[in-house]
Amino acid sequence: MTKDESIIELGSWLRTAPGRYLMAWEQDRLDHAVADIFGYHALQLGLPELEGLRTNRMPHRWVASDSLLVQEPPTDLAPLPVDHQITTLSAPAPMALHCEFDALPFPNASIDLAVLPHALELARDPHQALREVERILVPEGRVVIAGFNPASLWGLRQRAGHMRLGSSGPPAGRGFYLPSSGDFIGYWRLRDWLRLLGFEVEIGRFGCWRPAVKSQVWLDRYAWMDRVGDRWWPVLGAVYFLVAVKRVRGMHLVGRVRNERRKTKVAAVPVANRHHHRHALDNHHNQPHHRQGDGERPWAREWDPS
């Protein structure tokens, strides 16, 4: 399946009842997460159907996609949370930038916030895409990531579809509950990637605990599982949500500079001792000395036979 076909399949799935349920949860999490992140430049990679930056107040906001095919956003997105501290700015263009996620056209340390809703799952090289995000983020910059959880009821049903129909899958993803394209990355696996790149995870949450049903009626009947699942089996949510901070450690003197500074401190002590020793030798040489003659014995001076 090509990249454009994968994006079309994901856009079509977001219009289903499970897709709208997932979008509503992720939109609510994003609205709260990015509202209090300050800076100058914010970037969203992938999924233009989701307005990940609508509550952020940075003056420069962009939405980037690795495909020119953009689906129309669903009309029934989750409303803004009932919170007077969260404000909404005009949404940026549906797609302001077209680029590859593993080669972002931004200089080093130039972005304050990066939002990746399911971007790593559809990326050509998720490792390189995450390294590019680390490169363009400023120190103490933040990255927000949302992805499907393979260790969930939805993930188990997706895996069963692959086992039943083969690894290639049927045309157009028939027989799968989730989009058939993409590589789902586990929550703990992603945390390890972030830690290796110098990120520190601030927020890690799971959501969408309802079973893998396709009808809106049955999804509504299982709404009570969201309250129970958040308390009793949080790691089994269908989607996870991460907020990580890029940490840059302080500088320490090592190697040659450190050794030279240590030698300078030690060399100052012998200089004073040598000057004191030379002064003592001069005083010793200035004192009169009595030299004994050749063949003269010490007792001969004390005894006089006359």
pLDDT (0 to 100) of residue 4: 64
pLDDT digits (tens, 9 = 90+) for 11-47: 788 889 999 999 999 999 999 999 999 999 999 998 8
pLDDT digits (tens, 9 = 90+) for 218-268: 999 999 999 999 889 899 999 999 999 999 987 565 666 556 656 555 555
Residue 63 lies in a domain: yes
Residue 34 CA to residue 28 CA, distance in Å, equals 11
pLDDT (0 to 100) of residue 177: 82
Using 50, 70 and 90 to split pLDDT, how confident is the model at 72?
A: low
233 and 273 both lie in a single domain = no
88 and 237 both lie in a single domain = yes
185 and 280 both lie in a single domain = no
pLDDT (0 to 100) of residue 160: 80
pLDDT (0 to 100) of residue 97: 85
Q: Are 129 and 122 in contact (CB under 8 A)?
A: no
Q: Are 160 and 179 in contact (CB under 8 A)?
A: no
Indicate whether 162 pLDDT > 60: yes
pLDDT (0 to 100) of residue 172: 46
Residue 43 tokens, joined: 């970037």
Q: Which of the pair, 62 or 182, is modelled with greater confidence?
A: 62
Q: Note down the domain range covering 270.
A: 253-284
pLDDT (0 to 100) of residue 256: 64
Residue 296 lies in a domain: no
Among 107, 134, 142, 254, residue whose Cα is nearest residue 196:
134
pLDDT (0 to 100) of residue 53: 93
Q: Are 187 and 203 in contact (CB under 8 A)?
A: no
Domain count, the chain: 2
Using 50, 70 and 90 to split pLDDT, how confident is the model at 134?
A: very high
pTM, entire model? 0.74
236 and 270 both lie in a single domain = no
